[in-house]
C-alpha cells in the first residue's frame, strides 16, 4: 500500500502510528518502500514522548506530526524532543537509517534540525484558542486540523466547515498565515478539500488506504448485486 501510494502522484504521505495499525518494524519497511518515489514521508506519532520521537526519527522520515498540540509550550517541548543538540535533546546515533547507517552521519548532524518538517495538530478548543502562539514557535511548519477530534471537543459537526466549526478552522488558518506557516487538514473527499482550500488550507491529506479499500469493496459488491437484480438494489445491497 505504501509503495502504491508513493507511485500515485501525491506530494506527501502520512504514516499513522496514532490510529493506524503499523508497528515500528512496519514503518521501516513502509519508508523503504517509498524511498525511491518523489514523495515526502510524514509520520504521526501517538503521543508526545522522547523515546517515541527518537525511535521514529531514527528511521529517517521527512517530517513528524504530533497530535493534539494545545499551546505554544507543548509545541516548543515537541521541538526540543525532536531536535538534536544544540537546539534540542534528541540523542544521535551513527548506525541508524536516518544517517545512512553511518555513511551520511556528518551531513545528517548538520542538516536534520533544519530539514525536518514539524506538523502540530490542532484538535481541541485549547489548540484553536492558542493557534497564534503555536504558529509563532520557531520550527513549527504546519498547523494541521484534525476535524473529527476538533469537532468532538467543540460539540459541532465536521462534515463541512460551517458555523462555529468554520470559525474555528478559519482561526487556525489565519494564525498560520500570519506567521508564514502552512495550514493543513485531513479531508474525506474532494468537496471537503475545496472547502478548506477556500479557507486557506494548502497542506491537505485526503482519504486513507483502509478507507479506499473499504469503499471500493462496497462499491463493487453493490454494483454486482445491482447487476443481478436488473438495476434494482436488493435489500442486502441497500443495507450496505
DSSP string covering 43-63:
EE-SS--HHHHHHHHTT--SE
DSSP state for residue 219 in the 8-state scheme:
H
Q: Which helix (H) or strand (E) holds 193?
A: helix 190-198
List the one residue out of 194, 184, 155 whose CA is nearest residue 66.
184
- Which of 19, 29, 178, 218 is catalytic? The answer is 19
pLDDT digit string (tens) for 165-221?
A: 999 999 999 999 999 999 999 999 999 999 999 999 999 999 999 999 999 999 999
So what's the pLDDT on residue 231?
A: 65
Q: pTM for the whole thing?
A: 0.90
pLDDT digit string (tens) for 84-113?
A: 999 999 998 899 999 999 999 999 999 999
Q: Is 226 buried (19+), middle (13-18) or exposed (0-12) by CB count in 10 A?
A: middle
List the one residue out of 137, 131, 134, 83 whose CA is nearest residue 111.
83
Partners of 13 in beta bridges? 41
pLDDT digit string (tens) for 172-184?
A: 999 999 999 999 9
For range 124-129, the mean pLDDT: 97
Nearest-angstrom CA–CA distance, 145 and 210: 20
- Whether the Cβ atoms of residue 38 and residue 61 lie closer than 8 Å to each other: no
Residue 19 among the catalytic residues: yes
So what's the pLDDT on residue 237?
A: 46
Amino acid at each position: 500500500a505504501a509503495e502504491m501510494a508513493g507511485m500515485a502522484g501525491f506530494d506527501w504521505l502520512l504514516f499513522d502510528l496514532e490510529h493506524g495499525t503499523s508497528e515500528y518494524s512496519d514503518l521501516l519497511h513502509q519508508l523503504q518502500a517509498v524511498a525511491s518515489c518523489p514523495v515526502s514521508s510524514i509520520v504521526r506519532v501517538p503521543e508526545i514522548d522522547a523515546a517515541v520521537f527518537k525511535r521514529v526519527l531514527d528511521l529517517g522520515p521527512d517530517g513528524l506530526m504530533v497530535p493534539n498540540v494545545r499551546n505554544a509550550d507543548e509545541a516548543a517541548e515537541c521541538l526540543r524532543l525532536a531536535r538534536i543538540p544544540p537546539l534540542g535533546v534528541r540523542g544521535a546515533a551513527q548506525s541508524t537509517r536516518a544517517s545512512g547507517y553511518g555513511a551520511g552521519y556528518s551531513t545528517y548532524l548538520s542538516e536534520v534540525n533544519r530539514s525536518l518538517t514539524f506538523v502540530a495538530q490542532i484538535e481541541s478548543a485549547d489548540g484553536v484558542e492558542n493557534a497564534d502562539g503555536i504558529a509563532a514557535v520557531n520550527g513549527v511548519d504546519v498547523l494541521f486540523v484534525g476535524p473529527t477530534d476538533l469537532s468532538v471537543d467543540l460539540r459541532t459537526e465536521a462534515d463541512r466547515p460551517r458555523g462555529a466549526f468554520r470559525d474555528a478552522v478559519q482561526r487556525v488558518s489565519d494564525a498560520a498565515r500570519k506567521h508564514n506557516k502552512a495550514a493543513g487538514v485531513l479531508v474525506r473527499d474532494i468537496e471537503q478539500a475545496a472547502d478548506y482550500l477556500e479557507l486557506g488550507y494548502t497542506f491537505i491529506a485526503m482519504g486513507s488506504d483502509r478507507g479506499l479499500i473499504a469503499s471500493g469493496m462496497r462499491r463493487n459488491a453493490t454494483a454486482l448485486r445491482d447487476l443481478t437484480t436488473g438495476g434494482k438494489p436488493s435489500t442486502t445491497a441497500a443495507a450496505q
